[in-house]
Structure 1
């Protein structure tokens, strides 16, 4: 098995390490950027490269290094070429592992290459998210006002239900399932105020089960479900009593 180690140094300190492993005619690229500290990383210790240094390191900036990493990820031919080149630089036998290594001295680029397309997309998405949050807050205030009047006026209950549906669409657009569950509970209150007890009961039961199934249970939503359920039972018993 052959292993090629591309070590990246910043001001003389080991900052990153790339490993190209050739095994059974396959070339695989590994990075150890998330495995700190590199000076005692399992990869470098097992390869016996801690004390070895390349006398002629390659000097490149961050923009160039990014292109090299992307090219290595996408090209087996480039991996194969790098393996051959590194083995011509140095090789170490360690437990039947042929090792070639090269060092890169990372320098500050004259101008950083920024992903402007991604930045514009992120800015647009972030602005849209903040606007949707603002709209959600206004709708919550308006919906709460109509819902408080829904017990006396059916028209207000209908308006509150429509507002909760608009909030549900926004919550689904944002991608927040717990906020969507809260909006469905608001809709259940509207249905209960209009006399659709069975539909309201089904919504409350489904949302209670969904909330309890989450990894982190929102106790406020659980209490909200219990409160709506208590009021639903009261309205149902009251309706039965009035029929007698």
Structure 2
């Protein structure tokens, strides 16, 4: 078995180790000593201090990143590196030969930035901020129609439509707490239109969902309590008026 160790130094301090282990016909790649087989890793403990007589390679971070990627992807490249490293640093009783090459990491003249990822992040961040802005406007508008929904069914219907739009945006953002809040807004609209059973199911579902979270949102819990009390009041009021109409008919 042969082990090729690439020790990476930053300002003469050991920063990381990269290993290629040749076993029979396999050339395995490891980025940490803890992933290397145990009987090999025990021998590698002696490599913690620089004692290599070969001049170290000077390499910047951009180049090292590409070398590591090629090592991970190409078994042929790993095989070539093992053949090139003929200098044997140590041999233990198990005939494990270890070759070492030091790499001194230097600062590049120009840093290579992941522009593609930066563009994706910028677009995502802009979209998120715009969605948050739209959500704020819809909350204001929906609150106004919801307050009028107790007297006018048309306003309750409009408030329900706004809640559905808010729900779509919350699903797009991916915030489950905001999704739960939008569903509670929808429950208020349904309650104002006399759909008490559907509103009841939504409130109960969101209450148990919030209670199941690791971090419980107390404001949402109180919101569920408030809507539940309003639901009971509106339901009793509705059936009380309905019974009076039947008696007078």
TM-score by length of 2: 0.84
Q: Distance in 1 between matches of 2:78 and 2:233?
A: 71
Counterparts of 2:71 and 2:185, CA distance in 1: 53
| Greater gyration radius | 2
1:211 Cα offset (Å): 2.1
Distance 1:206 1:95, change over 3 A: farther
- Measured at CA, do residues 26 and 220 of structure 1 come closer, stay the same or move farther in structure 2, by a change above 3 Å? farther
Aligned-partner Cα distance in 1 for 2:42–2:18 = 10
Give the equivalent residue in structure 2 for 1:89: 87
- Structure 1 residues 74 and 155: CA distance shift in structure 2, 3 A: same
2:202 counterpart of 1:203: yes
Check the 8 A contact 1:5/1:100 in 2, yes or no.
Answer: yes
Farther off after superposition, 117-126 or 89-98:
89-98
Alignment match, 2:14: 14
Q: 1:49 is matched with which residue?
A: 47
Confirm or deny: 8 A CA contact 1:191 1:200 kept in the other structure: yes
Structure 1 residue 148: deviation in Å?
1.5
What CA RMSD, in Å, does the superposition of the two structures yield over aligned residues?
A: 2.4
1:173-216 deviations in Å (ceiling 9; x for gaps): 11112211111111111111111111111111222222222232
| Inter-CA distance 64–240: structure 2 relative to 1 (3 Å threshold) | same
Where does structure 2 lack aligned partners over 5 or more consecutive residues? 35-40, 244-249
Residue 188 of structure 1 contacts residue 203 of structure 1 at CA under 8 Å; is this kept in 2? yes
Tell me the distance in 1 between the aligned counterparts of 2:28 and 2:180: 44
The corresponding residue for 1:139 is: 138
1:130 matched to which residue of 2?
A: 129
CA distance in 2, matches of 1:45, 1:142: 70
